[in-house]
Structure 1
Amino acid sequence: MRLRTRAILAPLLLLAPLVLLASTGLAAEPTSEPKAGVTGFGFGERLQIHGFASQGAVQSSANRYYGDSPETSFDFTELGINASFRVNPRLMLAAQVLSRRAGDMSDGSPEIDFALADINLVSNARYRAGMRVGRIKNRLGLYNETRDVPFTHPGIFLPQVVYFDKVRNLVLSTDGILLYGDLHQPFGTFSATLSTGNPVIDENVEAAYMSGDFDGTLESENHSWLASLWFDSATEALKLGLSGATASAKYHPNSSDPFSLQPGTIDIIYWIASAQYNAERWSLTAEYMGEPMQWRDFGPWRPDRDATAEGYYAQGTYRFLPRWQLMARYEEGFANRDDRDGSQLERDTFGMAPANTAYSRILSLGVRWDINRQWMLRAEYSRHIGNFILSEIENPDFSQFEKHWNVFAIQAAFRF
């Protein structure tokens, strides 16, 4: 049986924004998707072009993390260029091309990050509503929409127990349609989005949810549904949000061998609760992620099972000088919140998946220096216990995992 919550969630996700739209004229102006920063080229007021580039170096005491990090990896590069064109006051076109090299997870081939038409349906001083059509960045949590732009990150790496880079493409964007809206009040702004479309499933997603590389393919079975509700205070000091998505994937085996996996399905609900407080020189951020999952009909070698992954973090940043910023973050993540120490996983797999693959506990400290409006340098240290966040593509042999490991990374970034 599929997730019953999925059948209930889709109409509820549809109902909330539409009720607001119908009763209040709820609306929103476009988010910062078309921009990479405050710099760029403007050709009049209608055409804007922005871009960014970053290069990182990652060194770990053990385990592969963004490439061959035990030997120091330089396979962490991002290049992006985007443009937006205001056709008229109600229509804007925007797109971004991204090249991302991330160890064995991504080889740097240029891809369309987003490409959309933004249609403003109604707008005045109190509200605005619109829709987007095309490849749309998903508004999940505080950072997913802008996760490709280094200048928008709290650190070199996003909190991995919430924003998994190993399944990044699954949650990054959707090919479909989105409704958005904002309602402005004296005390703050309420926002809502609702979208549906086809998610992107690549070999990283397949390896993560299938726990390895099998002779077959994993493909999207149904459209995903995504929704978000947000509140921003009038002073922009407080931001609260609840966002979520559903996804379903079907496994198609290439072999008829009776000992191979059978055509099974994976159903996922992924949701994030977000809170952030910003003062003049410091910010506090916390997010909680829940991910109920079901595996069905894979045959006797992969019995049906349910699990709920969980992740959360608390983070603080402090701007001790105008161009300098410190960051501290603690995060925990679990493959199954009912098996936090991984002991059940190790028993069920007869030791093939050690207990430490089921959790991650990470303490990170970082410093950022904004040299000027175009250039930024960062350094970051992380202490890891457990291996839940590690990519199965980069680390196919679970027996080689080291439970206790450290990461030191530096990054240089440029924008125009």
Structure 2
Amino acid sequence: MTTYLLLLAEVTSAAESLSDQLQVHGFISQAVLHTTENQWLGDSAHTSFAFTEIGVNSSLRLTPRLLFSGQILSRRAGELSNGTPTIDFALADFNLVSSTHNQVGIRAGRFKNPLGLYNETRDVPFTRSGIFLPQVIYFDKVRNLALSSDGLLFYNDFYLENGNISFSLGGGWPLVDTNVENAYLFRNFSGQLQADNPGWLASFWYSNQSERFKLGLSAMTVDMQFNPNVNALPFTTPGAGHVDLLYLVASVQYNTEQWSFTAEYSREPIEWRQFGQLFPDYKANAEGYYLQTTYRFHPQWEWLLRYEEGFANRADRHGNDLEQISHGFIKKEMGFSKIFSTGLRWNINSQWMLRAEYQLHNGCFILSPRENPDFSQLERNWSLFTLQIGFRF
């Protein structure tokens, strides 16, 4: 009996210790959107409620050097996502070296790609700078491609007297879905676009000790191949071609107690090859940048102001060549986007948040062909009004 009681005490103690190491959090948000023209996350021209986010994440530290973490996400976003729960990330973090001067580790599994300032936290409404991140850098139309990878990521953090330096290098299979095919092939052909090889990722970050100033460079490569349906009608589907791209982001941010100033610049060399006569070989150099400021004028209130520009090809900033090469199938307005955004955030309490945002658009580069399949109906000048409420626990 005594042995049984001792064993029960040990099991109870272990369970309590394990529960102390387990953390569970979550969030839910709902938005209502209206556009004056075009479609953005649902039938927004007639007001859309089709933007809902529900996430539950957890982390368990089994030992001081081993951490498991993951998140299940349900995201309903117009035609881009139907809300089916998916594994947002799920990884094991092995801490190999930990000292006062540096930290070295490896993440294995599905990890968030360390791209730019916001990609690793873009799914949590409370951590975004606005209801929507700058779309010329963080495209929602190809969100999953940039969001995460299945593979390994090595990281090394240095803690110096003059600041902190972080470096990461990894490789993994990117997540290619129908949205990616629509964005890079401009429609959903009979066949499947998928990753042909693992992609490489790298990032380098510097921040001063107070983390008021941040400076970073990040990059990823993607190699995709289109496999046409063998039963597709001739001359209606491209051949087994490739889409290769290199995505580069340069980031800088400065924070004070009330102000944050942020700027990011992206360059994306893209090559389409071996698709056949229906889709001739083509090279482009996509480009995007934004300038953003946020002002925390009250402990519960924050104001956002942002300007961004993006181009499908920096050598064709008005989209004229794009329209000519596609024989008018792709309108020139799809070659660029210039966006002015402003918004307010009200932190009602530690759990509830309410946001309002207005965007004025010139161009359609950020729009998804999946939600706007009839290119002839696209309008160059349009506006977006959005309200969002969020809850977290």
TM-score bucket of the superposed structures, by smaller chain: over 0.9
Equivalent residues in 2 for 1:107-118, closer than 5 Å:
107-118=82-93
Establish whether residue 195 from structure 1 lines up as the match of residue 170 from structure 2.
yes
Q: Which residue pairs with 1:121 in the alignment?
A: 96
SS, match of residue 208 in structure 1: helix
Q: Which residue pairs with 1:272 in the alignment?
A: 249
Q: Which string of whole-angstrom CA distances, capped at 9 and with x for unpartnered residues, describes residues 43-69 of structure 1?
A: 754110000110000000010101000
Establish whether residue 283 from structure 1 lines up as the match of residue 283 from structure 2.
no
C-alpha displacement at 1:353, in angstroms? Answer: 1.4
**Contact 2:18–2:62 at 8 Å: present in 1 too?**
no
C-alpha displacement at 1:296, in angstroms? Answer: 0.6
| TM-score for the superposition, normalised by structure 2 | 0.94
Q: Matches of 1:414 and 1:216 in 2, distance apart?
A: 40
Q: Matches of 1:86 and 1:342 in 2, distance apart?
A: 51
Tell me which of 329, 332, 338 is aligned to 1:361.
338
What amino acid is the match of 1:285? T
Establish whether residue 330 from structure 1 lines up as the match of residue 289 from structure 2.
no
Q: Matches of 2:339 and 2:233 in 1, distance apart?
A: 42
Tell me which of 86, 105, 110 is aligned to 1:130.
105
Establish whether residue 217 from structure 1 lines up as the match of residue 173 from structure 2.
no
Tell me which of 85, 88, 96 is aligned to 2:63.
88
Q: Which residue pairs with 1:296 in the alignment?
A: 273
Name the CA shift for 1:186/1:44 in 2 (closer, same or farther; >3 Å): farther
Establish whether residue 345 from structure 1 lines up as the match of residue 322 from structure 2.
yes
Q: Which residue pairs with 2:34 in the alignment?
A: 59
Q: Which residue pairs with 1:15 in the alignment?
A: none
Report the structure number with the largest CA radius of gyration.
2
C-alpha displacement at 1:238, in angstroms? Answer: 0.2
Q: Matches of 2:177 and 2:159 in 1, distance apart?
A: 39
Q: Which string of whole-angstrom CA distances, capped at 9 and with x for unpartnered residues, describes residues 202-252 of structure 1?
A: 000001001111111101100010010000111111000000000100111
Tell me which of 389, 401, 410 is aligned to 2:378.
401
Q: Matches of 1:298 and 1:405 in 2, distance apart?
A: 34
Q: Which residue pairs with 1:23 in the alignment?
A: none
**Contact 2:125–2:131 at 8 Å: present in 1 too?**
yes
Q: Matches of 2:119 and 2:238 in 1, distance apart?
A: 33
Could you tell me which runs of 5 or more consecutive residues in structure 1 were left unpaired when the two chains were aligned. 1-41
Q: Which residue pairs with 2:224 in the alignment?
A: 249
C-alpha displacement at 1:350, in angstroms? Answer: 2.2
Identity %: 54
Tell me which of 338, 346, 363 is aligned to 1:386.
363
Q: Matches of 2:225 and 2:195 in 1, distance apart?
A: 6
Establish whether residue 46 from structure 1 lines up as the match of residue 21 from structure 2.
yes
Q: Which residue pairs with 1:167 in the alignment?
A: 142
C-alpha displacement at 1:342, in angstroms? Answer: 0.6
What amino acid is the match of 1:206? E
Q: Matches of 1:320 and 1:413 in 2, distance apart?
A: 21
Tell me which of 329, 347, 350 is aligned to 1:370.
347
SS, match of residue 211 in structure 2: coil
SS, match of residue 165 in structure 1: coil
SS, match of residue 182 in structure 2: helix
User: What is the CA RMSD across the aligned residues, in angstroms?
Assistant: 1.1
SS, match of residue 326 in structure 1: strand
Q: Which string of whole-angstrom CA distances, capped at 9 and with x for unpartnered residues, describes residues 53-92 of structure 1?
A: 1000000001010100011100000000011011010101
Q: Matches of 2:328 and 2:227 in 1, distance apart?
A: 27
Tell me which of 306, 310, 317 is aligned to 2:283.
306
Q: Which residue pairs with 2:239 in the alignment?
A: 262
SS, match of residue 221 in structure 1: strand
Q: Matches of 2:65 and 2:299 in 1, distance apart?
A: 38
C-alpha displacement at 1:148, in angstroms? Answer: 0.3
Larger displacement relative to structure 2 (123-132 or 350-359): 350-359
SS, match of residue 166 in structure 1: coil
Q: Matches of 2:38 and 2:18 in 1, distance apart?
A: 47
Could you tell me which runs of 5 or more consecutive residues in structure 2 were left unpaired when the two chains were aligned. 1-16
Q: Matches of 1:166 and 1:43 in 2, distance apart?
A: 40
Q: Matches of 2:175 and 2:24 in 1, distance apart?
A: 26
Runs of 4+ in structure 1 off by over 4 angstroms are none
Q: Which string of whole-angstrom CA distances, capped at 9 and with x for unpartnered residues, describes residues 347-405 of structure 1?
A: 12222211111000000000000001000000000000000000111001110001100
Q: Which residue pairs with 1:237 in the alignment?
A: 212
Q: Matches of 2:293 and 2:105 in 1, distance apart?
A: 34
Q: Which string of whole-angstrom CA distances, capped at 9 and with x for unpartnered residues, describes residues 122-158 of structure 1?
A: 1110111000111101110000000000000110000
C-alpha displacement at 1:309, in angstroms? Answer: 0.5
Q: Which string of whole-angstrom CA distances, capped at 9 and with x for unpartnered residues, describes residues 303-362 of structure 1?
A: 111001100000000011111000000000000001000111111222221111100000
What amino acid is the match of 1:297? Q
Tell me which of 203, 225, 228 is aligned to 1:228.
203
Q: Matches of 1:195 and 1:273 in 2, distance apart?
A: 18
Q: Matches of 1:210 and 1:82 in 2, distance apart?
A: 34
Tell me which of 116, 134, 139 is aligned to 1:141.
116
Q: Matches of 2:24 and 2:306 in 1, distance apart?
A: 34
Equivalent pairs counted in the alignment come to 375
Q: Which residue pairs with 1:39 in the alignment?
A: none
Q: Which residue pairs with 2:13 in the alignment?
A: none
Q: Matches of 1:43 and 1:396 in 2, distance apart?
A: 51
